[in-house]
Chains A and B, each alone.
Chain A
């Protein structure tokens, strides 16, 4: 390997050239890496990551979502058709969502969604040559947390921040949950939906999430949470 995990790679950097250094080991490459002949190259700038034994990917900072099959995302209904909805998922083209792809939906009992409504859905088809397709249920027909999102508040974060929220090493949502009761849905397209008991709670969580994208370490994040909870307590006392 020309680069060690944790190092910065730039597009065009050759990670491994199997013509020069033949290797018996396999490589599984993820986002930000590509294969060209017998070389493995980076195609995005970021930090090279490795998961034992031989999975490699590049952790980059982006703000534009590119659909990936299986990702849970938050979409906005932009058009209603006879049997499909057109949904904006923040990618280069809108996705389609069948009215029958909801739990318990039949031709007679369709979900009622209006333009502008939010849905938490999973990408069933995500291919560069095809229109992305969404579903709001798993393969067994159960909703498993997916479906329309009612009320609440939507914020948009950079993609790496949204991914970080879902990571077990980044207990931001958990820390906020100790003091504030709220519901949240994190889409891998950077959209986060939040619904607290009161508007104040919703806004406190929204502020925490938005500001946390600037946090560079876990201690900073803990500090941020403390301050936001203190502010919220202060506001509550004033009332």
Chain B
């Protein structure tokens, strides 16, 4: 199965325009089991808000998360850490605002950020990230992590490495579904989310839901690692779009 995945990943053309991506998505409706081994169409956008220091929108299929990063900014006295920056992650749902069932999600994202950001460079300051749920159609955590990384890149926060996350669902027949949507998630017996950093491709965060064997876990992790490469490519492409036109003529 792993071999199949590799073929699928390399054949997927990542340089599509928005329309093409949407067309491709419609085709995916009639996907066979093997086609579940690739990401849903991913659209990334940086610097989309005038306020804040950095912002990004990440769309994975129909799941849309907007992230806004601020920092390094002034920190509340009680949250101040003497030798490193305080990282805050707030998740806002469409309806109920903050908190509630998403505290775990916030913590997962914060932990991943903490490994990636060079917090010691900005002691006694706060780096806050606000994640806004715009549409939730499955694989929420991985979309949040990807949006968060892109917002941090846009804000110019010094980082050790970038990170990218992939959610993998395991169905009742032990088939793997990469980046499942909400209907697929319901059918899945368990859901695994992995985040990898770009430098040494090491795991920075993982979140598991449901029952699975250790073997499946490792298999999923390897698959997620391969797929995260594709997301890193998308990130680079997005950053390039931000910068390259300035480079043509404009100086520093």
Contact = CB atoms under 8 A, between A and B. Distances in A.
A92 interface: yes
B252 A8 contact: no
B159 A63 contact: no
A66 B159 contact: no
B239 to A, nearest CB: 5
Contact of B72 (A11, A14, A66, A163): A66
Interface stretch (B9-17, B21-29, B119-127, B185-193): B119-127
Nearest to B242: A61
A66 B122 contact: yes
B205 interface: no
A13 B153 CA distance: 13
B248 A43 contact: no
Contacts of A66: 72, 122
> DSSP class of B's interface residues: helix, strand, loop or mixed?
mixed
Nearest to B239: A45
Interface residues of B, number: 47
A222 B220 CA distance: 54
A8 B240 contact: yes
A40 to B, nearest CB: 13
A41 B153 CA distance: 15
A15 to B, nearest CB: 12
A169 to B, nearest CB: 4
Contact of A218 (B232, B235, B250): B250
A217 B157 CA distance: 26
Given A11-B160, A44-B156, A63-B53, A92 B252 contact: no
B72 A10 contact: no
A26 interface: no
Interface in B194-223: 197-199
Contact of B123 (A129, A163, A218): A129
B72 to A, nearest CB: 5
Most buried by A among B73, B74, B158, B235: B158
A142 B18 CA distance: 58
A49 B252 CA distance: 9
Interface in B218-252: 232, 235-236, 239-240, 242-252
Interface of B: 47, 52-54, 70-75, 116, 118, 121-126, 153-162, 197-199, 232, 235-236, 239-240, 242-252
Given A10-B232, A164-B250, 13 more contacts: A8-B244, A11-B160, A14-B199, A43-B159, A44-B158, A45-B153, A47-B244, A92-B71, A92-B124, A170-B250, A216-B248, A217-B250, A218-B250
